[in-house]
A and B are shown apart, each in its own frame.
Chain A
Amino acid sequence: MKVRLKGTMKLGRSTYRFKSNVAISDCFTVVGKKEGQGPLSIYFDMVIEDEYAGQKSWELAEGKLLNIAITKLVQRAGEKPDNIDLILSGDLLNQLSSSHFAARDLDIPFIGIYGACSTFALSVGLASLFVDSGFAKNVIAATSSHFCSAEKQFRYPLELGTQRPPTSQWTVTGAAAFLIKQEDSSQSPKITHFTVGRILDFGIKDPNNMGAAMAPAAFDTIMRHFSDTKRSFDYYDMIITGDLGYVGRKLLDELFKKEGIRFSSELFDCGILMFDPETQNTGAGASGCAASACVFGGYLYKLLRERTFEKILIVPTGALMSQSTALLGESIPVIAHALAIEIV
C-alpha cells in the first residue's frame, strides 16, 4: 500500500517531499556563557551566563533553557500556548529529562524524541510531516543540550576534573525552539525535503571521538538525499553537517574524495562554526543537540531570511551510545537526518 498524506510525497527510499509551504515561521535560541563568547555570539537571541540558570542542578538548568526557548518563541510569534498543537522535543539526557522538565508546566501536547545530536533535524522533520499532512497547524520543534549534564552522564562528573583528549568535542550549552507552520510568504525559509537516515555502525568505540564515528552517517544520508531527490550536488548554496567537528569533517572530506565527488557548494559543519578552538579550548569542535540547532536557529536562519543563502541542506548527525553500552564495550551506532531548507 502506498501511503500518501495530503501534501507529502515520498521520494526514493527515504526522502519526504513537502508539497505545501511548510515554513520555519520563527525560532528562538538561548545559549550559555561560552557559546555567548564564541564567533557567533551576536546571532543568539539570549545568553545566560549562569551555567545553573538559577536552578540547583544541571539537568534542571538544561530544562530551564529549553523552557525559556519555547516560551519566548511562543511569545514572540504572538501565539497563545493554546494554539500550539504539539511540541516535539528531545535532548541527550536519560529518559529525555530536560525536555520533560521543560514541558511540564507548558500544558501543550508533547512528544519526546531521541536522536542524540541529530534531534534538531528529527524534530523539525517530524513537525513538518504533521504540518504538511494538515493534522496540526502550529508545531514547535525543540532541542537542548548542556555541557555539564552531558559530561556527567556520558563521560565523567566534572568534580573529577579529568583532562579532555584532543579529539573530544565540547557539548554546547543551549536550547533552540522552532515554530513550524504553513506560511505562504516568501520571507520564511521553507522545509522542502526531509531525508530520514539509517543506523550505521563502523565499530568505533571511543566516545571521545564521535566525529569520526558520525562522518560515514553524514556521507550516507547526503548521498541518499541526492539519489532520492535526483538533485545534483551543486543545487545547494551550502551543505552543512551537524557536529562532526574538525576530526569528523576531515573524514567526511576523505569519503567524498574517495568516491570522486566534487561539488561547488560550500561544505560546513555547525560544530566547527560554534567555537573558536584557539581561544576557547574546545578541542575538536562543538557537539550536542544544541550545536546544530543553535547554529542553524541563531545564524543560518538569519542568513536565509536575509537571502545570503537561498538553498541549504542541513545534515545533523547523532552518536547513539549510552553510558551502559559504552561500559559494555559496544561500538557506537550512528545516524544522520537531512533537511532541505529553501527560500521558495
Chain B
Amino acid sequence: MFEFKILHKGAMEKMEYLKAFLVGGLICVVGQILIDKTKLTSARVLVLFVTLGAILQGFGIYQKLVEFAGAGATVPLPGFGYSLAKGAIEEVSKVGFVGAFTGGVSRTAGGISAAVFFGYVISLIFNPRSK
C-alpha cells in the first residue's frame, strides 16, 4: 500500500511536468505561428501576449489555466499579464480604486526588479554577439 502511494505520487508529478510542458509549449507555438505567418514583429507579439494574459485573467479564465498547468502558464509572457491583472484585482478589493494602479506592479515587482538587476549584471559580464 505504502509503495503504491509513492508510485502514485511520482506519476502525479510526472503528469504535472507533462501538463506544464504541453501548455507552455502550446503558448510558444502560437507565438511562433504569429512570427512566421503574420507581419507582427516580436515586440508586438510580446505586448499582445501580456495584454491577452491580463484580459483573460480579468475574466478569471487564465487562473484556471494556471491551476491546470502551473509554471507552464505562469512562465510564458501571458503569465506576466495574468500577474498584473490578478495583483490589480486583489489590491482593489483591499484598498479600493487606487489598487488598480498599484496592485499589478506590486505583484510583479519581484520579476521586474530581477529582470533589471540580472540584465545589468549580465551586461557587465558578457559582450553581445551574433548568433
Residues of A bordering B, CB below 8 Å: 34, 51-52, 147-148, 151, 156-163, 165-166, 206, 208-209
| Interchain CB contact (< 8 A) of B36 among A52, A151, A165 | A165
**Inter-subunit contact B42/A148 (CB<8 Å):** no
Taking A156-B43, A159-B123 as contacts, is the C-beta distance between A148 and B130 under 8 angstroms? yes
Can you list 15 residue pairs at the A/B interface with Cβ under 8 Å?
A51-B129, A148-B130, A156-B42, A156-B43, A158-B129, A158-B130, A160-B42, A161-B131, A162-B42, A162-B43, A163-B35, A163-B42, A165-B35, A208-B41, A209-B39
- Count chain A CB atoms within 10 A of each CB in B39, B42, B127, B130 and give the residue with the most: B130
User: Chain B, 28-54, contact with A by CB distance < 8 Å: what is the 0/1 string?
Assistant: 000010011001011100000000000
Given contacts A163-B35, A165-B36, are A157 and B42 in contact (CB under 8 A)? no
Answer whether residue B128 sits at the interface, using C-beta atoms and an 8 A cutoff.
Answer: yes
Q: Is the interface of A mostly helix, strand, loop or mixed?
A: loop
CB <8 Å contact, A166 and B36:
yes
Could you tell me if A51 and B130 are in contact, using CB atoms closer than 8 angstroms?
A: yes
- How many residue pairs, one in A and one in B, have C-beta atoms under 8 Å apart? 32
Roughly how many angstroms separate A52 CA and B130 CA in the complex, as a whole number? 11
Chain B residues positioned under 8 Å from A160 (CB to CB): 42
A-B pairs with the 6 shortest C-beta distances?
A: A162-B42, A158-B128, A159-B128, A206-B39, A147-B130, A148-B130
Q: With both chains docked as a complex, state the minimum distance between the C-beta of A148 and any C-beta of chain B, in angstroms.
A: 6
Select which of B32, B35, B129 is within 8 A of A148 by beta carbon. B129
Contact with A along B89-131 (1 / 0, CB 8 A): 0000000000000000000000000000000000100011111
Chain B residues near A209 (CB, 8 Å)?
39
Q: Tell me whether B128 and A157 are in contact (CB under 8 A).
A: yes
Residues of A near B128 (CB, < 8 A) are 148, 157-159
Closest-CB distance, B117 to chain A (whole angstroms): 15
Q: Which residues of A contact B35 (CB under 8 A)?
A: 163, 165
- When distances are taken between beta carbons in the complex, the residues of chain B under 8 Å from A161 are 131
Cα A175 to Cα B91 in complex, Å, equals 58
The distance in angstroms between the C-alpha atoms of A151 and B41, with both chains bound, is 14
Interchain nearest-CB distance for B31 vs A (Å): 9
Bound complex: CA A122 to CA B32 (Å): 39
- Which single residue of chain A is at the shortest CB-CB distance from B129? A51
Supplied contacts A148-B128, A208-B41, 12 more A-B pairs, CB within 8 Å:
A51-B129, A148-B129, A148-B130, A156-B42, A156-B43, A158-B128, A159-B123, A159-B128, A163-B32, A163-B35, A163-B42, A208-B39
Cβ contacts under 8 Å, B32 to chain A = 163
**Chain B residue nearest to A56 in the complex (CB):** B127
A156 contact set on B, CB distance < 8 A: 42-43
Chain A residues within an 8 Å CB radius of B123: 159
